[in-house]
A and B are shown apart, each in its own frame.
Chain A
Amino acid sequence: MVKAKTIIKNAPKIKPKVAFYGITGCAGCLLSVLFNEDEILDLIELIDLKAFPFIKEVNVEEKYDYVFIEGLVASKEDLEEVKRLRENATFVVSLGACACTGCIPAYRNFTLKENYEHLLYKKVEDLEDVQPTPVDMHIKVDHYIPGCPPNKKEILTFIRSVLRGKIPIPYSSPVCVECRQNGNECLLDVGKPCLGPITAGGCNSVCINGGLECWGCRGPSKDMNLELMIKILREKGFDDKFIQDRMRTFAGLKLPMLDEVIKHTKEKVGAKNE
């Protein structure tokens, strides 16, 4: 039996025009929106879904109130797309790690071209390559929903909040806060290179709950003690190359000071040993 159209109580009279767009990325973050299976039909009643090319055939290109952008800028086409979206949107949300921090595709910025050149698409003639960079390096972003993938609930929370006239405040405390509340063993204590202490939480420490150390997908926490984190990892026996690589995997472009801090703390250690 097909359920009749759900009647949503207190749905806003003027529904906000919303669009979900993906640029270069795996589209996993757009899937996160859809993984809210139980609530997705209710959601569509709350908003005026103007565009969602990932699942929708007809997409209206006009002015939007809220635009969610998934993926990072990696081609000229992407760049034009984000500029167009910015011009047409009142409020832009970076959805997922690629859009927020650059994520794994942006790791290319930290290696030589000869290391990846052979992997670039050659067949597509008109694909113009740009340095892979998060959305906010090209346009103004009003809100971030980070994570690889983002927490599906966070997406809905954002939409419900704006409908009630509130913009949710991003979770800026480190992953450790939720991790300890979840009763986990500290993975640093067992010698794993966990980046929880310098990574913004809000993920309910999902990786650590499952036994995997934090790789920092939600980007740096607001007041991380990067210097100390590097020191701890060194003491656990990880070398600087490893530390640098690990920290750059998800949020390299948001840690422009990393080289400097590694160098600076090394000098300090050196001075101590003399």
Chain B
Amino acid sequence: MVYRIKRDELNIFLEGFARKNQLVAPLKGKLAKFELVKEEQVKDIYLEKNTYFPAKEFFFKKNETVFTFKDNKIQEPKLETPKRIFFGLRRCDLNAVKHQDKVFMEQIKDPYYMAARENSYLLGFHCWEAPSKYCFCGTLNLADYYDLMFYDKKDYFLVEVGSDKGKELIKEFKTLFEDIDITITKEEKKIKGADRLLKDDIKGLYDHPDWQKGVNQCLSCAACTNLCPTCYCFELHDETKTSNIQEGKRVRNWSSCQVLDFSRVAGEHVFRQKREERFKHRIYHQLEYFKERYGVNMCVGCGRCIQGCPTRIDFVQIINEMK
């Protein structure tokens, strides 16, 4: 099902959400990121380029209280997320949500993630052309995964319905949407200029000397994993109160495979002591290990790990140049 909405009516549609529910969309700022957008900010929504920071933190939070404890009792937090509409997610961002859904909602049902995810609507924004020179989603077989997808056609937007939730939204604002009888072809959905990655099969390349090109430029600063929309590793900490050291909370924070502490176990053994091992681990998890387990590449080709790297390590180029 495809609908059409006039360009100037899109804001009416979004303002409607911002008024009644929570609207999350990209704002430019110093570095573009997804933020809660108030009604009067709808006109400032930034769609020119993709965002520097992903929308990940709205679902898989940077800092989440898993439970509180007092003496020997555990109290689980109330998990309530208001109805949230995400607008402006690119195809890569949408697939990133899909991959995190696999991790946190399929085999393991993570209540914290699910609570944040359940009441959210994913409204995508199609890139006709790669919005950044770092993009490489073309090779990664991205799927259709959205409630609504917006295609910018200058005077109007085509809106493709991807789920029942999407249908529901259209119904709610039916005066703004015109039903049109077309389909958007696979060819149209292809993003131009995003085929930089020449091969995603790196199985036999683990010992290739070319990885060293990246390792030498790596500070192990974890910018790549923190800016990645799919990276989902976390660590748990207990925080206690001074007034009662048996009272406190257990907190979940983002973690990163790029640092030594990540693979440290009891007895102070660190499994991935060498920078090279940590560097390769991320890329192999993105393009190999996740695929072995879930059948798809974890990486969605948004290029944020390259854009945000202090030395701009381009692992795509490194892989491409490997013989």
Contact = CB atoms under 8 A, between A and B. Distances in A.
A179 B94 CA distance: 25
Interface stretch (A6-14, A15-23, A111-119): A6-14
Interface string A34-46: 0010010011001
A244 interface: no
Interface stretch (B79-87, B107-115, B160-168, B243-251): B243-251
Contact of B244 (A10, A156, A181): A10
Contacts of B77: none
B219 A174 contact: yes
Contact of B245 (A164, A176, A183, A229): A164
A181 B228 CA distance: 11
Interface stretch (B135-143, B174-182, B253-261, B314-322): B253-261
- Residue among B253, B261, B308 facing the most chain A CB atoms (10 A cut-off): B261
Contacts of B242: 36, 39, 42-43, 46, 156, 160
Nearest to B215: A225
A186 interface: yes
A88 interface: no
Contacts of A225: 218-220, 275
Contacts of B241: 42
Given A188-B310, A228-B311, A176 B221 contact: yes
B222 A173 contact: yes
B245 A10 contact: yes
Contact of B310 (A9, A172, A189, A222): A189
Contacts of A188: 310
Contact of A180 (B30, B217, B222, B243): B222
Given A183-B53, A225-B275, A177 B246 contact: no
Nearest to A196: B221
Interface in B201-254: 216-223, 226-227, 239-247, 253-254
A185 interface: yes
B189 interface: no
Nearest to B53: A183
A39 B245 CA distance: 12
Interface residues of B, number: 35
B221 A163 contact: no
B243 A6 contact: yes
Given A39-B243, A197-B221, A225-B219, A181 B310 contact: no
Given A173-B261, A225-B275, A9 B244 contact: yes
A155 to B, nearest CB: 11
A99 to B, nearest CB: 23
Interface string A245-266: 0000000000000000000000
A130 interface: no
Contacts of A172: 259-261
A31 interface: no
A186 B308 contact: yes
A9 B246 contact: yes
Contacts of A11: 245
Contacts of B192: none
A164 B240 contact: yes
Given A10-B71, A172-B260, A223-B260, A160 B245 contact: yes
Nearest to A235: B311
Interface in A146-184: 156-157, 160, 163-164, 169, 171-174, 176-177, 180-181, 183
11 contacts: A8-B243, A10-B246, A42-B242, A160-B245, A183-B53, A185-B31, A196-B221, A228-B217, A228-B311, A232-B310, A232-B311
Interface of B: 30-31, 33, 53, 62, 71, 216-223, 226-227, 239-247, 253-254, 256, 259-261, 275, 308, 310-311
Q: Return the 6 tightest CB-CB contacts between A and B, nearest first.
A: A176-B221, A180-B226, A173-B259, A197-B219, A39-B242, A9-B244
